[in-house]
Chains A and B, each alone.
Chain A
Amino acid sequence: GAGVSQSPSNKVTEKGKDVELRCDPISGHTALYWYRQSLGQGLEFLIYFQGNSAPDKSGLPSDRFSAERTGGSVSTLTIQRTQQEDSAVYLCASRGGGEYAGYTFGSGTRLTVV
């Protein structure tokens, strides 16, 4: 597609429920990233996929968070047993064009845990 697409744009869930957030990167982009942005805060790195390599999961805050990328394209970020502190905007970005290409971000999914 023309840009990075994320769905849903907004998600309200009850504490303790599981949620899945989806990211459709730009076609052909081999690198895909997930970041978390709490209200008024910066961008917290979560996980990074590069081609067929094992993902860099070093930013995942707990084992309740996981992500997968199927077929080198679509990615799903899953948060199990959501907590109120998980409330944030979850941003996905993809990158292509070589190691010095910038990221293209989606508009994010605003997650609210009540």
Chain B
Amino acid sequence: GENVEQHPSTLSVQEGDSAVIKCTYSDSASNYFPWYKQELGKGPQLIIDIRSNVGEKKDQRIAVTLNKTAKHFSLHITETQPEDSAVYFCAAGAGGFKTIFGAGTRLFVKA
């Protein structure tokens, strides 16, 4: 089955700096890669996703990249703000039917 590894587990950045979170997956059949943000006391919320037929996707300060050959994908947050502080999860699945999540990255943005 699919296995998703996520790094780092904790990331601390200064406000305004960029943050990068990296994930690898094992199942070459996976073709859908969503990213979720979880704030304290809430369920994870989808922030961006990418399909395997696309190498990069951007939405304002957030971008995701996908390298199918190497089976890794990354989340990039630019100009970080304190409200970006949360736990971020990457995930991988085949068409989203059963998505396997990474262990999460706790991001701290220091003002």
Q: Which residues of A contact B (CB under 8 A)?
A: 4, 31, 33, 35, 41-43, 45, 48, 50, 56, 91, 93, 95, 99-108
Distance between A95 CB and nearest chain B CB, rounded to angstroms: 7
B residues contacting the other copy or chain, number (CB 8 A): 23
Identify the closest chain A residue to B98 (Cβ). A48
Determine the distance from Cα of A56 to Cα of B100 in the docked complex, in whole angstroms. Answer: 14
The stretch of B11-19, B39-47, B60-68, B71-79 in contact with A is B39-47
Distance between A6 CB and nearest chain B CB, rounded to angstroms: 8
Determine the distance from Cα of A3 to Cα of B54 in the docked complex, in whole angstroms. Answer: 29
Q: Which of B45, B51, B100, B104 interacts with A100 by CB under 8 Å?
A: B51
Determine the distance from Cα of A104 to Cα of B34 in the docked complex, in whole angstroms. Answer: 12
| A107 and B41 contacting across the interface, CB-CB below 8 Å | yes
| A43 and B49 contacting across the interface, CB-CB below 8 Å | no
Identify the closest chain A residue to B1 (Cβ). A58
- Known contacts being A42-B89, A100-B32, is A4 close to B96, with CB within 8 Å? no
| B46 and A102 contacting across the interface, CB-CB below 8 Å | yes
Determine the distance from Cα of A84 to Cα of B90 in the docked complex, in whole angstroms. Answer: 28
Q: Mark B14-41, 1 if CB is under 8 A from A, else 0.
A: 0000000000000000001010100001
Q: Mark B72-108, 1 if CB is under 8 A from A, else 0.
A: 0000000000000000010000011111111110000
In the complex, what residues of A have CB within 8 A of residue B100's CB?
Answer: 45
| B95 and A100 contacting across the interface, CB-CB below 8 Å | yes
In the complex, what residues of A have CB within 8 A of residue B36's CB?
Answer: 102-103, 105
| B98 and A56 contacting across the interface, CB-CB below 8 Å | yes
Assuming A43-B89, A99-B97, A100-B32, what are 19 further A-B pairs, CB within 8 angstroms?
A: A33-B98, A41-B103, A42-B6, A42-B101, A42-B102, A42-B103, A43-B101, A56-B98, A91-B43, A99-B32, A99-B95, A100-B51, A102-B34, A103-B46, A103-B96, A103-B99, A105-B44, A105-B45, A107-B41
A-B contact pairs, 24 of them (CB 8 A): A41-B104, A42-B89, A42-B102, A42-B103, A43-B101, A45-B99, A45-B101, A48-B98, A50-B97, A91-B44, A99-B32, A99-B97, A100-B96, A103-B34, A103-B36, A103-B44, A103-B96, A104-B46, A105-B36, A105-B44, A106-B43, A107-B42, A107-B43, A108-B43
